[in-house]
Amino acid sequence: MPVAAKSIKFGTDGWRGVIGDDFTFERLALVAPIAAKVLFNTYGTKVGNRTIVVGYDRRFMAEDFAQKVADVVSAVGFDVVFSETYAPTPAFSWAAKQHNALGALVITASHNPGQYLGLKVKSAYGGSVPPEVTKEIESLLEEEVPPALTPGKIYKFNPWESYCQELESKVNIAKIREAITSNKLTVFADVMHGAAAGGLAMLLGNEVREINSDRDPTFEGGAPEPLPKYLSRLFGVMKTHREKHPTGLTVGLVFDGDCDRVAAVDSAGNFLSSQILIPILIDHLTLRRGFSGEIVKTVSGSDLIPRVAALHKLSVFETPVGYKYIADRMLASQVLLGGEESGGIGYGSHIPERDALLSALYVLEAIIESGLDLSDYYRCLQEQTDFTSAYDRIDLPLASMEVRGRLLEQLQKEPLKQISGQAVIDCQTIDGYKFRLADQSWLMIRFSGTEPVLRLYCEAPTLQQVHQTLAWAKQWAE
């Protein structure tokens, strides 16, 4: 195996590494032609061409790395539809389907800190490739794809045009625009210096109040992840707005670095993760849009999701963590919505891909058509289902991979019987260990596959119980 190929591993959604260390032009030039070859082997018969979409986000030198991908992929005989600007990852997933391409190669590190870059591989049908495709790419890294006798051509395109047209066709865009221009609804958008910048303005007009829209590859020393700790500026501008305009509907929308994850902030300044947004979206899309189909959730999703699904007589299918598992199910079944707790939500009426801009539009539609603030809407669903809960998650760094191995072995040999004073009544193991407790709360312990990190998830009747259980889990791990 070439030295450059060593330690190139694809995680739940692509290959990522530190720029200049793991992620280099040399390594990317090795991976990209093999990824193109595997896409051709997988989807070539279906699409009948050798076309690959190449796109990128706003990270450090992302356009230069994307140019390298376009050059090396065309050199081995593939035509490249190459983006002339940054755009959301779901825009490139949509472009793969729209151009009837083999798939898309997208330069992005999603929500990781600024020192990271990566490569996402998207399929011909417009979603994450299944695990067997990335495994095949990894297995072929010791091979070299020879140059073609006739190199492919590189065509430039604007990814926003067709993508925005597609999104506009999915929602009542006129009603949303009217509510904003008439000041019935005030919309803030924190694009976190990422690829969502300008997106809502293209769709809804310049009345959308966008913040953190400049390109900052350092992300102010943080990460472009829709979590409260990174949203101080959004909380501040929304608080100032509330003081001047105490009445009226207000919402803050938050997008991660490549715009495939979404979160929100309500009129009172409360952070709302997808654990809250998914139940609202299920209710809105069934009640007002007449959508039907299966609800797909990851094992870490809230217990409110199946309860709201039951209100509308919808079935629920549960997957491991990772949107590619949801995408697989979306291809195999009629799905209304597929969502994960980390902010990725996609729709069966679109492409099998999480799409934060489409989710944001549906959230705005839900607010306008219900006339409710998001938290009020959520409370209504809690009352209808007679279910109230709180949720949180922590990522716990471990001392080493050896410590990770010992904890994993301990869980396998000595399953937990009691957690934070509650008896364990069930343990689910489709991804990590999800312990159901006697009071119907749950704790999930999940290990990162590539680094010494323990992910701890908990849902319980109160936030105090959530924090007690997570503290117990942290103490157990340490």
Per-residue confidence of the chain (478 residues) as pLDDT tens digits?
555 656 788 876 789 999 999 999 999 999 999 999 999 999 999 999 999 999 999 999 999 999 999 999 999 999 999 999 999 999 999 999 999 999 999 999 999 999 999 999 999 999 989 889 999 999 999 888 999 999 999 999 999 999 999 999 999 999 999 999 999 999 999 999 999 999 999 999 999 999 999 999 999 999 999 999 999 999 999 999 999 998 889 999 999 999 999 999 999 999 999 999 999 999 999 999 999 999 999 999 999 999 999 999 999 999 998 888 899 899 999 999 999 998 999 999 999 999 999 999 999 999 999 999 999 999 999 999 999 999 999 999 988 888 888 999 999 988 899 999 999 999 999 999 999 999 989 999 998 766 788 999 999 999 999 999 999 999 999 8
Q: What CA–CA distance (Å, rounded) separates 36 from 53?
A: 10
For the full predicted model, state whether its pTM sits above 0.75: yes
Report pLDDT for 106.
98
CATH of domain 170-384: 3.40.120.10
- The alpha carbon of residue 210 and the mean position of all alpha carbons in its chain are separated, in whole angstroms, by 20
- Residue ranges, comma separated, of all CATH 3.40.120.10 domains in the chain are 3-159, 170-384
Query: Which regions of the chain carry the CATH code 3.30.310.50?
Result: 390-477
Per-residue pLDDT at 349: 94
How distant, in Å, are the alpha carbons of 88, 127, 315, 320 from that of 334?
25, 16, 11, 19
Rounded-to-integer distance, Cα 478 and Cα 466, Å: 18
CATH of region 3-159, choose from 3.40.30.10, 3.40.120.10, 3.40.50.720, 3.40.50.620:
3.40.120.10
CATH superfamily of 390-477: Alpha-D-phosphohexomutase, C-terminal domain (3.30.310.50)
> Exposed, middle or buried by CB within 10 Å (0-12, 13-18, 19+), for 417?
exposed
* Helix, strand, or coil (residue 343): coil
Nearest Cα residue to 103 out of 75, 144, 64, 134: 134
